[in-house]
Amino acid sequence: LNSYFENPDGINEEIEQLEDGVYVEKLFRRATLLETADDGDFVYGDVSRGKKGWFFEPDPQRSLLAIGMLLIRQLAGRETEERDIACFDEECGVSLDGFIETMNARGFTIEEHYSLSMRDVMELLESDGRLLCAVSSGVLEQHRCVGLRGMAADCMIEMTGLDISNPMDIKVFYNHVAQKDGCGRICAWDVFQNSWRVSDKYALFVTKG
């Protein structure tokens, strides 16, 4: 298990190779996970997280903005308006720096992460904070754009949980403000990884205080 989780770079390389067709290796890794997970907790995070006051933002371009407003509402108990978000542009949304600056000004701490491994994700989900992942919504929804090169993250979603009870079918729980029924969605880890990889597994970890 340790070799699976401890070396994020190694894991990423292996996962890349797996997708090029080294399927046996993938099965072996998952089997190792199964043996070790028998006496452990199968679900990391809190899958009911983020439901309070959740709202739908139909424009995926504004997902980061919407998540910022939602987190301020949920964690600080305050309402905020779009114009209060720094660098907000009516047409386009908000830049990453603008988002971070705004959240910092409201008493939130934001850590930026790249290339997170599954173990990193588990640790963050068990910590007191919220994990936002930059994904391609088209790849996440398994549209045909999955086959296109050069896809970039167009959407920020909140990952709320990870269920490893069946290591052959690991599930990711997430809230997607740009989907009408986006609160409490579930997808396979592999699908999630594909959509997250377009941003080099970029994530923001938001804590209050």
Partner 1 sequence: VEVKEKMKIEEMQKNIRLHPIWQKDIPFGFQPGLPMLSVEQNKLCVSFFIHRAVSYPSKFEMFPPEYFATWVYPFKKMVRFFHLPFHSADPLSVKPVVFDLNDLAIQSYNGIYDECENAVLSWLNENDSRAVYRYQEYFDSAVGRLGLGSMYDRGKINVLYGGF
Span interacting with partner 1, options 36-44, 75-83, 123-131, 134-142, rule CB under 8 A: 134-142
**In the complex, least distance from residue 116 CB atom to partner 1, rounded to whole angstroms:** 15
What gap in Å lies between CA 60 and CA 56, rounded to an integer? 10
Name residues contacting partner 1, limited to 189-208 (CB under 8 A).
200
Of the pair 131, 153, the CB lying nearest partner 1 is at 153
Span interacting with partner 1, options 5-13, 26-34, 116-124, 139-147, rule CB under 8 A: 139-147
Q: What is the SS3 assignment for 119?
A: helix
Q: What is the SS3 assignment for 2?
A: helix
Q: x/- contact string, 156-185, with partner 1 (CB under 8 A)?
A: x-----------------------------
Of the pair 69, 134, the CB lying nearest partner 1 is at 134
Nearest alpha carbon to residue 75 among 191, 209, 194, 180:
209
What gap in Å lies between CA 90 and CA 126, rounded to an integer? 36
**Does 115 help bind partner 1 (rule: CB under 8 A)?**
no
DSSP strand pairing (130-135 vs 203-208) = antiparallel
Q: Are 124 and 205 in contact (CB under 8 A)?
A: yes
Name residues contacting partner 1, limited to 60-79 (CB under 8 A).
60-61, 63-64
Measured N-to-C along each axis, helices 23-37 and 8-19 cross at an angle, to the nearest 10 degrees, of 130
Please give the residue ranges that form the binding site for partner 1 (CB under 8 A).
60-61, 63-64, 87, 89, 92-99, 134, 136-139, 141, 143-145, 147-156, 200
